[in-house]
Structure 1
């Protein structure tokens, strides 16, 4: 089992940027263009979905609660794997699009959402757990899971080529120097930027009664983007969704020029990082 570090190394002056759930208005900006978000955001690797679902031969369908379900990207992958999925999503625009894809979605923040006696075999969160108070969210998951059920929070992490990282960093720091997002964590290649998020999730699990020791899963894959496809996805990133249009255009122009310089496309290695734990059977 991979070792999950604790989050105790955070420095006081970094606490705001290392606690994105305190800036939830950024997450709630994604619904500005829910269709673009749904079209451009990457899906999750099949081995992750298979590991969450497990061997269900002869068993009832897995009942899954998808926290921060957005437009239903994770929910649709789980439904295709035979699961029964309920989504919880604070943004009505995102939830409405999820419903058009056949996903049942209730509008609420997870911290305020009430299960009303319902229990689930799994509670999952794709690209969303960092927008939830880690302590309150983990406690709510514990209340919601059946004994032996699984909590799994996961993130897709891409690694841009060095020249694109340089262009993106330069543009962001010029137009959004006061962003509440930790630009280093948002842009840094590889999984480094998400290890703080993973560590916080793991610490909250350890501090919540009823869970076993958290573990980390890792899945490696890659995706090739054209210039237009990458710039289209960039418009859904949290830093850009809250910038004025002229500043968005400035960032996109700089990154687009860097992609043009390398022939108009690039291949991005991805890592999907999951933090997961089981609800104790005797809790």
Structure 2
């Protein structure tokens, strides 16, 4: 997935608000999260009757459904009513609001999570709001699925997208490691916001490696759900999809994407100012 625009993507919410243009496709095609991540969230945020989880930017409820299946009670907060409605139809309770403006109405949680969403939230205000609703010992976990496509597929997308949107500021570099490097500022921003809140222990990084194989049809179904394309009309999307399809055909009609699910997480301390540390996030592998 291409690098989000600029160093402060939460200031570019029009792109975030474009995902609901085809909520059904988004829910059907976007990758799920590794079971190991879900299990670690549940283990790290135990509640008396199973963890109570707030899913920030829950979208269509992809992560929420996985957490519910693992025994969590989940409330979603989602600014896009189209995405929220689909999440509700599939069993997740959702409040429609931007997280920074959302009213918790006295509710508290064992975990606050955000899948593919924390970069759309002001990292300082978001961490402070998460601290407000987390019980002491609760955990904030912001995570992203980071794909590394075959260079030929990534290069075809980048070239076709540049032709379709020549003024785009997006960095669409191909090559091993480029996707992870592109997400590094998001993790650093999340960790900085956690530290600035003064309400958490030192942030950690979790990572989980996995892979999946896409057919040509499956990958071309995913692409229109990405922020680079959601705001393009169909006639401008078409040449991008055609170029990527040709690259996949040259690979034999399918390809494997290696994913790393990267997370920044921290435990809510008993009171504000208790962490007082500015260490780099500790990194652990799943």
For normalisation by structure 2, the TM-score amounts to 0.90
Q: 2:57 matched to which residue of 1?
A: 68
Name the CA distance, whole Å, in 2 between partners of 1:237 and 1:53: 28
* Correspondence for 1:154 among 135, 143, 146: 143
Q: 2:275 matched to which residue of 1?
A: none
Q: 1:82 matched to which residue of 2?
A: 71
Summarize deviations over 1:187-230 as a string: whole Å, max 9, x none: 97441111110011011111111111000000000000000000
* Correspondence for 1:108 among 97, 107, 121: 97
In terms of mean alpha carbon deviation, does 201-210 or 74-83 score higher?
Answer: 201-210
Per-residue deviation, 1:162:
1.0
Aligned-partner SS, 2:188? helix
Contact 1:91–1:107, Cα closer than 8 Å, also in 2: yes
Per-residue deviation, 1:59:
3.7
Name the CA distance, whole Å, in 1 between partners of 2:245 and 2:227: 18
Name the CA distance, whole Å, in 2 between partners of 1:77 and 1:68: 15
Name the CA distance, whole Å, in 2 between partners of 1:18 and 1:56: 30
* Correspondence for 2:131 among 133, 139, 142: 142
* Correspondence for 1:226 among 215, 228, 239: 215
Q: 1:257 matched to which residue of 2?
A: 246
Quick one: structure 1 residues 138 and 266, their matched pair in 2 at CA, closer, same or farther if it must change by over 3 Å? same
1:168 aligns with 2:175: no
Contact 2:199–2:269, Cα closer than 8 Å, also in 1: yes
Per-residue deviation, 1:173:
1.6
Aligned-partner SS, 1:247? helix
Q: 1:206 matched to which residue of 2?
A: 195
Summarize deviations over 1:84-130 as a string: whole Å, max 9, x none: 00000000000000001110001000011011111100000000001
Name the CA distance, whole Å, in 2 between partners of 1:17 and 1:229: 29
Q: 2:226 matched to which residue of 1?
A: 237
RMSD, aligned CA: 2.0
1:19 aligns with 2:12: no
Summarize deviations over 1:251-273 as a string: whole Å, max 9, x none: 00000000001110000000000
Quick one: structure 1 residues 81 and 125, their matched pair in 2 at CA, closer, same or farther if it must change by over 3 Å? same
Name the CA distance, whole Å, in 2 between partners of 1:58 and 1:131: 28
Unaligned runs of 5+ in 1: 1-14
Q: 1:246 matched to which residue of 2?
A: 235
Contact 2:46–2:110, Cα closer than 8 Å, also in 1: no
Contact 1:70–1:89, Cα closer than 8 Å, also in 2: yes
